[in-house]
Structure 1
Amino acid sequence: MATVSLRVGDLVWGKLGGYPPWPGKIVNPPKDLKKPRGKKCFFVKFFGTEDHAWIKVDQLKSYQLHKEEMVKITKGKRFQQAVDAVEEFIKSKVSVLTSLDDKNRHISSEDKRQNSSTAEISEHNTRKRGRPPKEEKDAFPEPSTVKRLITGPVAEYKWKSGSCSAIIQKLKTTAEEEAESTSIQAADSTATNGTVTPTDKRIGFLGLGLMGSGIVANLLKMGHTVTVWNRTGEKCDPFLQEGARLGRTPAEVVSTCDITLSCISDPKSAKDLVLGPSGVLQGIRPGKCYVDMSTVDPETATEISQVITSRGGRFLEAPVSGNRQLSENGMLVVLAAGDKALFDDCSSCFQAMGKKSFYLGEVGNASKMMLIVNMILGSFMASVAEGFTLAKIASQSQEVLLYILSQGPLASAFLDQKCQSILQGNFKPDFLLKHIQKDLRLAIAMGDAVNHSTPMAAAANEVFKKAKALDQSENDMSAVYLACNQ
């Protein structure tokens, strides 16, 4: 989804069909070329090729704002050549402006005074007609007003020098000062620009489901030494071909690795992995480290922590916020709590798999925060499904509803993805429905434990339970729409 308004001349990332995002420039189309009907789109000329195409506005992103993200998720010689072409184009613009500045410095003082007088008269006359004075255009096709600058998350991007940079830096500094006033510590990932230095520690990973598979792929891509295990052994094969080692049991992985991470589906499975036959606990000895990335209740996290540390091991809970696609793209958010030194030791791993990691203090805090995040996510998904159902029953276009939502405050990649699943009737799993229902259930129980009611989550939970009864457990969470139609 485009985060800033775009115009002719802007450098962008354009997404066309199933192809990866590619750098390009918005240009005026040939006069005899008609614009497609439907969604707003721009004519884009792509760098590194002679290709051009009409691209829908929701498939365009600002080049400078999203450069690090796109370079992270797309590789290849042709792609790098295209990026190099963009950078050369930007440098040529800077060179032209520098030459103009040098030329202007040689204008005689008399000419300057004449130009100044003319400018003052022109400005005076223009203001009398109610028009604001024109500002000098920036060298880059980037946002030139504060309104456009603040449409995206400020702290996520690096800005070029100039007045825009000063505004952003001031906002970023304020945000950092507010964050530092709490006990929470956050760390940005550097994986997006390819600067991750892999730890020399041996990493183990248990569980190769939707999330775990993407995590391991990125750990390997960033140069980590990884030993894998999965209950269904054939899921390990693709990673072995990429250089991973195979562990026969969880205990063997833990005993042969310095830090072992796991990503399992639910509290029972998480405990069985640790306490069961040939489980994690059997491989723990003083100094061995275990990081549980499963989304579980705080009581389960605490129980696992206690048994690990009782054997002299070190423990960190680190559930991740995201879905299959974000996992594959290395854009997860890691919520961690427990052994702070272990959190630091896992720095390169977290950078490889995510865009940001948070250290939240003592064990249990990360589980609590993760359940709250997913409670909001699940409740929102249920509301969206209910809204699309009502639109259908009230004879309103669901496509128009999505377009309206995409232009307002709810606009997000999540909204667009889930609504497209509903419109297409394609519920290929990105975040399993049974998992979000589990998280809603655990969040409600957490509320009960502190005598706090969660009526919205409770209502959403009932709709997801109904969807499970319709055999949608293994489908994406957006399949809750089918329950709303019953």
Structure 2
Amino acid sequence: MRTVGTRDRRVLGKMAHFKIGDLVWGKMGKYPPWPGKIVKSPKELKKPKGKPVYFVKFFGTDDHAWIKVDQLKSYHLHKDKMMKTNKSKRFQHSLDAVEEFIRKKKIAGEASIKRGRRKQEGKLPFAMDKKLTSSLIPSPLNTSYHSSFHDYVKPFHIFNIDHREMTTASIQAADTTAANGNVIPTSKRIGFLGLGLVGCGMVQNLLKTGHSVTVWSRTPNKCDTFVEDGAYLGRTPAEVVSTCDITFACVFDPKAAKELVLGPSGVLQGIGAGKCYVDLSTVDPETAQEISQVIISRGGRYLEAPASGNKHLSEEGLLILLAAGDRTLYDDCISCFQAVSKRSFYLGEVGNAARMTLVLNMILGSFVASLAEGFSLAQHCGLSQHTLLEVLSAGPTACALVEQKGQGILQGDYEPSSSLKHVQKDLRLAIAMGDSLHQQTPMAAAANEVNRSCQTSTNHVGKFHFMFPCCLQLQMFKKAKALDQSENDMAAVYRVYE
């Protein structure tokens, strides 16, 4: 049997050091250490298995999490060192909040001491000491302590995720990310164009990890939150590109990607020697190559890096990035990629990343269309859809996608994580790519028909691509488009069967 050595005793001693109410520096995921407070976890949240953990509520943010003890340090003992690790405005705001909390706590404690002294006049010193002690110990029952804390920390949420979706597994996943180590932000100035479902989460994570970011959006008020968190505001794409070293773009489709580069006050007007442009949009290979050529012709450097994932994965920094083009630019983007993704792949020449992304999204769209069809068939057979989801989650089809989209269908909750119009667009591009290569894609064609139908208010579903039986899935997404489901999640394809 293994005995407890000196090092183990030191570690165990350290683990036992923290208690409810302690102020700490907590390391969550890829983000820099952040000031927080040890609090009691909600009853409905089970403690993750494995290493000892503490539930931490972070200052100046909505984040709360189980944090491993080896990712925690005393706030006061390490304050001077930690304050030098992050210069972002968001971090400075958190420091202001914790220091104000400490100040108010001190004032409340001093007032409590004075009250205690007045009440203890004429009583034994021991009784007075006991009163003082109870007023100074940070405790959930100490109302003055907690009222001042809630003045500076927002109401309780877990990772900004709705409680209906929160499970122990998600907390464990976030805690696992904490083992990935620090992201050391590049000193280069980063630009970001486009703040859609995925883009917003990426900018949020770039700021959290200490990157200097300038943002622009066709919808200007989308920039407000990020400017408050320390981002700079760009007036036009050209201005962002000209003032930044590396500019990322994340827009809807090939048309939007070209307009962003070639349009008035567009990217091309700001590109010059040494300026770098990284397109995160999902486009066809020809569009990626066309944009690459015009960027390089102006002395710029180009990388395509479409993001695979959805809104939630973007917010959690767990996207997959597929990159192709300038290899040295890929290397220059590493800290940014680490901040927004769990893994990135370099695939060689421009166009390969677009091809890989379209293949992946074709598989995804076809799978979700089949999932919706299966749920509908089960219902019409008199089977329980809830039981179907349990069976799917227990067998070889078990995965987060089945669970998320299955729950969405059961609850009729189609809040977009990956919007149906994006999936239908990608299926259309994948089919076109297959056609250009004389490659049959009947499954994707069928799925696309369903999506397209859901996206318009008319009954016209277009010309069906019925060369092969599998084309029914394209048909179903087109039908979903016709039912005005464009802005909903892809799982809304189920509406076709209702």
TM-score, structure 1 length as denominator? 0.64
The verdict on how the C-alpha distance between 1:50 and 1:453 changes in structure 2, with shifts beyond 3 A counting, is closer
Alpha-carbon contact 1:427-1:479 (below 8 Å) kept: yes
Matches for 1:381-420 after TM superposition, within 5 Å: 381-420=368-407
The verdict on how the C-alpha distance between 1:407 and 1:447 changes in structure 2, with shifts beyond 3 A counting, is same
* Amino acid in structure 1 at the alignment position of 2:68: V
> 1:275 maps to which residue?
262
Are 2:485 and 1:469 equivalent residues in the alignment? no
Are 2:97 and 1:84 equivalent residues in the alignment? no
Are 2:223 and 1:236 equivalent residues in the alignment? yes
* Amino acid in structure 2 at the alignment position of 1:478: A
The verdict on how the C-alpha distance between 1:80 and 1:435 changes in structure 2, with shifts beyond 3 A counting, is closer
* Amino acid in structure 1 at the alignment position of 2:69: D
Q: CA deviation at 1:265?
A: 0.4
Q: CA deviation at 1:414?
A: 1.3
Alpha-carbon contact 2:68-2:175 (below 8 Å) kept: no
SS at match of 1:419: helix
> 1:185 maps to which residue?
none
* Correspondent of 1:248 among 232, 235, 238: 235
* Correspondent of 1:312 among 292, 299, 314: 299
Q: Distance in 2 between matches of 1:425 and 1:381?
A: 15
Q: CA deviation at 1:423?
A: 0.5
The verdict on how the C-alpha distance between 1:85 and 1:228 changes in structure 2, with shifts beyond 3 A counting, is closer
Are 2:211 and 1:220 equivalent residues in the alignment? no
Alpha-carbon contact 1:191-1:351 (below 8 Å) kept: no
Alpha-carbon contact 2:202-2:340 (below 8 Å) kept: yes
* Amino acid in structure 2 at the alignment position of 1:346: C
Q: CA deviation at 1:398?
A: 0.3
TM-score, structure 2 length as denominator? 0.63
Q: Distance in 2 between matches of 1:443 and 1:316?
A: 21
The verdict on how the C-alpha distance between 1:443 and 1:51 changes in structure 2, with shifts beyond 3 A counting, is closer
Q: CA deviation at 1:455?
A: 1.1
Q: Distance in 1 between matches of 2:491 and 2:174?
A: 30
Q: Distance in 2 between matches of 1:273 and 1:373?
A: 25
Deviations 1:110-162 (A, max 9, x none): xxxxxxxxxxxxxxxxxxxxxxxxxxxxxxxxxxxxxxxxxx9xxx9999xxx
Are 2:341 and 1:350 equivalent residues in the alignment? no
Deviations 1:76-127 (A, max 9, x none): 2796786329999xxxxxxxxxxxxxxxxxxxxxxxxxxxxxxxxxxxxxxx
* Correspondent of 1:199 among 160, 177, 186: 186
SS at match of 1:291: strand
Deviations 1:326-356 (A, max 9, x none): 0000000000000000000000000000000
Give the number of aligned pairs: 334
Alpha-carbon contact 2:184-2:335 (below 8 Å) kept: yes
In angstroms, what is the RMSD of aligned CA positions? Answer: 2.9
Alpha-carbon contact 1:286-1:313 (below 8 Å) kept: yes
Q: Distance in 2 between matches of 1:271 and 1:192?
A: 39
Q: Distance in 2 between matches of 1:54 and 1:219?
A: 29
Deviations 1:426-457 (A, max 9, x none): 10010010000000011111111111101111
The verdict on how the C-alpha distance between 1:270 and 1:388 changes in structure 2, with shifts beyond 3 A counting, is same
* Amino acid in structure 2 at the alignment position of 1:285: G
Q: Distance in 2 between matches of 1:400 and 1:367?
A: 38
Q: Distance in 1 between matches of 2:342 and 2:246?
A: 21
Are 2:346 and 1:365 equivalent residues in the alignment? no
* Amino acid in structure 2 at the alignment position of 1:468: K
Q: Distance in 2 between matches of 1:158 and 1:209?
A: 27
The verdict on how the C-alpha distance between 1:275 and 1:87 changes in structure 2, with shifts beyond 3 A counting, is closer
> 1:427 maps to which residue?
414
The verdict on how the C-alpha distance between 1:229 and 1:411 changes in structure 2, with shifts beyond 3 A counting, is same
Q: Distance in 1 between matches of 2:225 and 2:422?
A: 25
Alpha-carbon contact 1:49-1:82 (below 8 Å) kept: no
> 1:49 maps to which residue?
40
> 2:162 maps to which residue?
none
Alpha-carbon contact 2:39-2:57 (below 8 Å) kept: no
Deviations 1:187-217 (A, max 9, x none): xxx8764500000000000000000000000
The verdict on how the C-alpha distance between 1:458 and 1:192 changes in structure 2, with shifts beyond 3 A counting, is farther
* Correspondent of 1:460 among 447, 451, 455: 447
Q: CA deviation at 1:309?
A: 0.2
SS at match of 2:367: helix
Alpha-carbon contact 1:337-1:365 (below 8 Å) kept: yes
Q: Distance in 2 between matches of 1:81 and 1:372?
A: 37
Q: Any unmatched runs of 5+ in structure 2?
A: 1-37, 74-168, 450-475
* Amino acid in structure 2 at the alignment position of 1:466: K
Deviations 1:156-203 (A, max 9, x none): 9999xxxxxxxxxxxxxxxxxxxxxxxxxxxxxx87645000000000
SS at match of 1:305: helix
Q: Distance in 1 between matches of 2:48 and 2:323?
A: 31
SS at match of 1:260: strand
The verdict on how the C-alpha distance between 1:214 and 1:53 changes in structure 2, with shifts beyond 3 A counting, is closer
SS at match of 2:40: coil
Matches for 1:56-67 after TM superposition, within 5 Å: 63=50
Q: Distance in 2 between matches of 1:54 and 1:210?
A: 28
* Correspondent of 1:328 among 315, 320, 324: 315
Identity %: 63
